[in-house]
A = this chain, B = another copy of it.
Amino acid sequence: MNDRIAVPLPKSYLLLNHGPTVLVSSTHGGRQNVMAAAWNMALDFDPPKVAVVIDKSTLTRELVEASGEFVLNVPARGQAALTLAVGSESGRGMDKILKVGAGTTAASRVGAPLIAGCLAWLECRVIPEPHIQQTYDLFLGEVLAAWADPAAFSDNRWHFPTDDRRSIHYLSGGSFFATGEEFKA
């Protein structure tokens, strides 16, 4: 896994502010899993919070509800095939992280693993809101720790070093947008 640097918690919203698709990793009771989630957003600055949709049919849902934890991993364009793969098949009956060949490393504040090779990682604890979890598949989390690949994000700014290390935005049918040019309004 790349070196990583800590992102100050009140700046961790910057990792999600531009709307990238993320990977949600989770673990509980000896099982681990990862899924893709285009439906995520920052929810607050300080303490930082996030929101993410986790469908009832997924193994991730079961692991997140049981453990009360998850990690949002921001994948790079070079991981688009992996992102599509973990968004397309269920982790039930196999270890999807192993199957897709994703490396992992230990998180600092949660049990869920960090997916290797990503651009950034947000370690989150579920803020229990059973009604919206059940009704809308909507999970809120407090960000306990945040990390970034310093080649892509440092000093509170994204600066993608290569096209392969840009963040990505899922569309449908296997298509993504790469994050494009930065500009000032």
| A interface list, Cβ under 8 A from B | 14, 17-21, 38-44, 49, 51, 53, 77, 80-81, 83-84, 129, 131-132, 136-138, 140, 156-158, 166, 169-172, 174-185
Task: Give complex CA distance A80, B180 in Å.
Answer: 15
Known: A19-B18, A38-B17. A175 touches B182 (CB 8 A): yes
Contact B178 A178 (CB under 8 A): no
Residues of the B chain whose Cβ atoms lie less than 8 Å from the Cβ of A18: 19, 38, 169-171, 177
Task: Decide if A138 touches B38 in the complex (CB within 8 Å).
Answer: no
Can you list 19 contacts pairing A with B, beta carbon distance less than 8 Å? A14-B171, A17-B38, A17-B170, A18-B19, A18-B171, A19-B20, A19-B38, A38-B42, A39-B41, A49-B136, A51-B138, A77-B183, A80-B185, A156-B172, A174-B185, A175-B183, A175-B185, A176-B184, A178-B183
Q: Pick from A41, A176, A177, A183 the residue with the most CB of B within 10 Å.
A: A177
Q: Which of B53, B138, B140, B181 contacts A177 (CB 8 A)?
A: B181
Cα distance, A38 to B42, chains bound together (Å): 8
Q: Which residues of B sit under 8 angstroms from A44, Cβ to Cβ?
A: 53, 136-137
